[in-house]
Structure 1
Amino acid sequence: MPLTKSIGELLHRRHGSPRRAHARPGPDRFGLDSMLAGGFTAGTLGPEDEARLADEVAQLLPHGADMVTKARETLTTIVDHLGGQRELMAWLDRHPGRPRLIARMYVLMGQLDRYSDEGAVLDALRASRAQDPYPGGLRDYLPPDTTDETLGTVAARIEDLLADGREEEAVRLALATTSWLRHVAESADDPLPVVREMGELMAHVHEDVGEAARRS
């Protein structure tokens, strides 16, 4: 699965990607148990408690923009203990249910941010949208014009849906997006390597997100 191919710092949205401006009450409800976090970093946490901690982390991640300070500090200790944000995603992926689903959604968001300003990808997207401006499941999410913010906008919408607790809708958007981008790559005339790579990665992510969603 493509966690090992994840791109960049997955907890940081791409600079300029749209975000919802107003604060949510969510982070006040979703904290991290400091006792669990302490036991985890000390290496004394049992499997059941580690699974609880992973679920708490998964609930908190979509609130990164407005996370309360204490939760952010606790999360930082967990990330540092694991060795980085890629390792955080791999750790979450080892826990079925919400943690695995959230990890795979963040892999997708990282990839969308990665390809947002790739010229060859943008050309392929524009060519595809000239034939079908709003592919299935994306009419309410794609901006009218295809720019270097288009895929970042979709990533931000996925994260907003997760933060609002609308996981099923977020999954539908993720699967519609990966299906579309895979089709874009497969239907492109003489696609450049970066476009082919995108299509292959999106095929993997589509399978992985779907599998995680079915088991969550």
Structure 2
Amino acid sequence: MHDKPLSELAGHLLNRRAGASRPARHHVAPDRFGLDEEKVLRFTDGTLDAAEEQRLAEEVAELLPLNWSLTYRGKERLHAVVEHLGGESELLRWLDRHPGPPRLTARLVALTSTLDRYSEDADVVEALRSLRAESPLPAELEGVLPPDTDAETLSAVSYRIEELLFERHPQGAARLALAATDWVRDAARRAPSASAQVGELGDLMAHLHQDISEADAKV
């Protein structure tokens, strides 16, 4: 995974803005999800073998879109993994080292967190509004975005990606993610007066598009 999206992500993964994890709140019974305590303890003390670590990575990947709905104990175990690895960026790097769903999920979660982070930026919203007025939406975004282009536009994409991950459709989430990164990158490139934030977002979308495309090809 590119370092730039990870450096921009630091501090945003597990403490996202209110409303950013609607699938977790609306569809999940919190007590049904959590990490195995013994497995987490063995991971943090270095006694988990490679096969068990791969399975732990798969379990963590399943939880990331749902972290708002975990019980206190579930969050505590997830944070134990994060702290052992050295932080949120290192958590994604760790998942990225495990092929299949962990790697793809890590890259999709990096995207959803990035979209949520920029969703309320006025210049980003204006760039999206301008492109939407000029060009039809990609087919993958039809029915995903609300009618008006505002601070909820990018969050709507995050919501649908997380929903697809929860429903165990990672490749459907990847298809939507690739369409969204292309669309947002195009909006940044064609913005009438691109601010630093718009330019930065366009750069991040280019990196994330490549990352997700590579991971999706190997799931």
Q: TM-score, normalised by structure 1?
A: 0.90
Deviation at 1:111, TM superposition (A): 0.9
Task: Please give the residue correspondences for 1:175-190 in structure 2 after superposition, counting only pairs within 5 Å.
Answer: 175-190=178-193
Aligned to 1:32: 35
Q: Unaligned stretches of 5+ in structure 1? A: none
2: distance between equivalents of 1:15 and 1:118? 16
Q: Cα distance 1:135–1:7, how it changes in 2: closer, same or farther (>3 A)?
A: farther
**CA RMSD in angstroms, aligned pairs only:** 2.0
Matched, 1:120 2:112: no
Other-structure match for 1:41: 44
Q: Percent identity at matched positions?
A: 47
* Aligned-partner Cα distance in 2 for 1:128–1:185: 9
Give the corresponding residue for 1:159: 162
Q: Which residue of 1 aligns with 2:142?
A: 139
CA contact (8 A) 1:8 1:110 kept: no
Task: Tell me if the contact between 2:108 and 2:177 (Cα under 8 Å) persists in the aligned partners.
Answer: yes
| Higher mean C-alpha displacement, 38-47 vs 198-207 | 38-47
Matched positions, count: 215
CA distance in 1, matches of 2:18, 2:79: 21
**Residue 27 of structure 1: how far off its partner (Å):** 6.5
Unmatched runs of 5 consecutive residues or more in structure 2? none
Within a 5 Å distance, the mapping from 1:60-71 to structure 2 comes to 60-71=63-74
Deviation at 1:67, TM superposition (A): 2.4
CA displacement, residues 15-40 of structure 1 (integer Å, 9 cap, x when unaligned): 23471453335862x54222221111
Map Cα deviations across residues 78-111 of structure 1 (whole Å, 9 max, x no partner): 1122222222112111111111111111110111
**Amino acid of the residue matched to residue 192 of structure 2?**
D
